[in-house]
A = this chain, B = another copy of it.
Amino acid sequence: MKKIHLVGLGLLGGSFALAARQKFPELQLSGQDANSQHLQDALDLGIISVSKSIPDADTDLVILATPADTLGDLLVQTLAQIGPETLVFDLGSTKAKLCSLVASHPKRSQYLAAHPIAGTEYSGPKAADAGLLDRKVMILCELEKTDLHLKEKAYRLFDALNLKLRFMDPAEHDRHLAYVSHLSHLTSFMLGKTVLQKMEDEKNIFDMAGSGFSSTVRLAKSSPEMWAPIFLENKDNVLAALDGYIANLSAFREKIAKEEGESLKKEMEEINVIRGILDFGK
Residues of A at the B interface (CB closer than 8 Å) are: 69, 117-119, 136-137, 164, 166, 176-177, 179-181, 183-199, 202, 204-222, 224-225, 227-229, 231-232, 235, 238-239, 241-246, 248-250, 252-253, 256-257, 259, 261-262, 264-275, 277-278, 280-281
Contacts and interface: CB of A to CB of B under 8 A. Distances in A.
Contact of A246 (B185, B232, B249): B249
B248 A194 contact: yes
A194 B244 contact: yes
A277 B203 CA distance: 8
A166 to B, nearest CB: 6
Nearest to A177: B211
Nearest to A164: B207
Contacts of A273: 196
Contacts of A220: 268, 271-272, 274
A92 to B, nearest CB: 14
Contacts of A191: 183-184, 187, 245
